[in-house]
Amino acid sequence: MSPKFTIHTPINNFVDEDVRRTGIFEEFNIDFCCGGNHTLAEACAEKGIDPEAVLKRLTAIVPESEAVAAVAEGMDGSLSEAVDHLMQTHHTYLKENLPRLAELLDKVIQAHAANHPELNTVRELFVELRADLEPHLMKEEQVLFPMIKQLESSGGTTELHCGTLENPIRVMQAEHERVLTLFEKIRATTRNFMMPEDGCESYRLLLTGMDELEIDTLLHIQKENEILFPQVLALRGDPI
């Protein structure tokens, strides 16, 4: 979350930095034109909306220059260094947070499912998500990433047992698409991770954690799809 924006920031400031944020204001029926001089907190108070939840949505949209820098972070060295960065940063994050959120989700369901039956759908989707992500990480760590390091060390000349990395990469990309679809469904089911009025602290932690999980996974996928995989295929001379 950008430290320069808080719930006390005028609405105009959010829009001036990135016009795409107008879509979020429209979603919450917040006036960003004539009411643009009001702070986010003031505008949300008029609508009975949690300003922190709206702030998180707004700051998830970052200017293109910042977004490009985030995707490039850790990916400007060798292929081996990029692979190590992905494992140490994003793989570690997923391994720590997937079990934590699963446990937290069970706790929230036990306390709130009677009033919020949609939580059962969230659990079904999250189980699918975890069942996709955990084997995906294993395939990357045990198969694809070692092959990438082997290919780089040989200057692209080594013979791989699968002949080409194009097919394994296409499989990884297809799995990325499925993961993104599941995140979209979770976001829709939770109304963009909106905290219900009767939610407890555990409920808030769950929604915040899932929101952050989606953001980190999207960045993880962008780093692979947009930087790592094209560089690997170019080294081998395979189609991109």
Q: What percent of the chain has a predicted confidence (pLDDT) above 70?
A: 92
Of 62, 84, 61, 85, nearest to 73 by C-alpha is 85
Mean pLDDT estimate for the chain? 89
Distance of alpha carbon 31 from alpha carbon 184, whole angstroms: 26
- Say which residues have a Cβ less than 8 Å from residue 1's Cβ, sequence separation at least 6: 55, 56, 59
Using DSSP, state whether 39 is helix, strand or coil: strand
Q: What ranges in the chain are assigned the alpha helix state H?
A: 11-17, 22-27, 40-47, 51-60, 64-72, 79-86, 92-112, 118-139, 145-153, 166-189, 201-222, 229-236
Residue 208 CB-density burial (10 A; 0-12 exposed, 13-18 middle, 19+ buried):
middle
This prediction's pTM: 0.78
pLDDT digits (tens, 9 = 90+) for 167-194: 899 999 999 999 999 999 999 999 888 8
Reported as a pLDDT band with limits 50, 70 and 90, residue 235 is confident
pLDDT digits (tens, 9 = 90+) for 109-153: 999 999 999 999 999 999 999 999 999 999 999 999 999 998 888
